[in-house]
Amino acid sequence: MAKKGRVFSGARPTGRQHLGNYLGAIKNYVALQDDYDCVYCIVDLHALTTIETTADLKQNTYEMALDWLAAGIRPEETTLFIQSHVPQVTELHTILSMVTPLGKLTDLPTFKEKVRQNESNINYGLVGYPVLMTADIVLYRSDVVPVGIDQAPHIEFAREIVRSFNYRYNTKALLEPQMKNTEIPKVLGIDGKEKMGKSLNNHIELAATPDETRLRVMQMVTDPQRMRRTDPGNPDVCNVFSMHKIFTPAEDVEMINRECRVAGIGCVDCKKRFAENLNKSLEPFRARREEIGKTPNDVWDILHDGAKRARTIAEKTMADVREALQLP
Ligand code: TRP
């Protein structure tokens, strides 16, 4: 079947993935493979802007790749690779930086946020982050970039850089990417308050054992108004219920919804059921992860093969770019 175009996405190597990563990105990455030629990149260079040490970078890259493969990324058809394995991206980053107004970079809400979070290390790379991101996208002639709302300004920014570049050098060498807004559910952590994330340690890892998963689920905060087992609960404000809606069969969701409101089912019982359903849903993923993880070299081979394919596309784009620039 003819594909609709090329999708590109990147993610920083954060190691073992959690439910938030899965529901917010990976699930969508897997689905997009049916309709698009997909290029998925583990952006280790972007990671350098904020991490304090690179000691875990390799392991985190491996664990993330393993999770993606186990979740259904198909490396025969999808190009899965590590950003730094295609050095052309840094060349393009430098070239694009010349058509990027500095003021626009420092005005971006994402930059201001990063400055707040990294007060002790506001480096030049942090300013150029969206330029490197643009280089990622356009190097592979990507048509579509699926993003959540937080990354939307970066894609709009990438489109502007492409227009400036093509106009200034009177060329069509770079393709303006389209943004594909993905309806990403905001996945809350076990605290029921903040977005699920590693840094807050409120996450549930996909690759956790069933027992570890159960322990985490039992720590989940439910309807904060419900104090006693005999109080009626409100599923509409309960994070456990919102997870049930994703992982639990519809009849059971209906039952929980009904019984919670009349105190027919308690939070402990509700969470036990959720842990069971979650573990059942994750079973095939965990089996595949274990299987693939038996031969780590194969995972690295996949990443190296992906980089080879990516470099072929990249080199073509760079030839056009260098020609447009009339570099001697
Ligand atoms: N900035 C993205 C993030 O923080 C990661 C990323 C890098 C990316 N390059 C990209 C996303 C290109 C989409 C397209 O999550």
233, pLDDT greater than 70: yes
Helix (H) / strand (E) containing 44? helix 44-47
Q: State the architecture of 6-187+295-325 in CATH terms.
A: 3-Layer(aba) Sandwich (3.40)
Number of Cβ within 10 Å of residue 225's Cβ equals 11
Q: Which residue has the higher pLDDT, 32 or 51?
A: 32
Instruction: Give me the pLDDT at residue 20, please.
Output: 95
Number of Cβ within 10 Å of residue 135's Cβ equals 28
- Would you give the DSSP letter of residue 249? -
Enumerate the CATH 1.10.240.10 domain ranges in the chain, comma separated: 198-290
Instruction: Give me the pLDDT at residue 150, please.
Output: 83
Enumerate the CATH 3.40.50.620 domain ranges in the chain, comma separated: 6-187+295-325
Question: Could you tell which of 8, 28, 134, 154 is best to mutate to test the pocket of ligand 1, judged by most ligand atoms within 8 Å of the CB?
Answer: 154
Q: Which residue has the tokens 């104090």?
A: 227
Residues with CB under 6 A from ligand 1: 8-12, 43, 46, 133, 136-137, 145, 147, 151
For the stretch 234-260, pLDDT in tens is 999 999 999 999 999 999 999 999 999
Instruction: Give me the pLDDT at residue 185, please.
Output: 73
CA distance 149 to 155: 10
Which one of 3.40.120.10, 1.10.240.10, 1.10.3720.10, 2.30.30.40 gives the CATH number of domain 198-290?
A: 1.10.240.10
Distance 9 CA to ligand 1 centre (A): 6
Q: 79-82 and 37-42: which strand pairing?
A: parallel
pTM: 0.95
Instruction: Give me the pLDDT at residue 165, please.
Output: 98
CA distance 8 to 309: 14
> Residues 6 or more apart from 122 whose CB is under 8 A from it?
115
- Per-residue confidence band for 1, with pLDDT thresholds at 50, 70 and 90: low
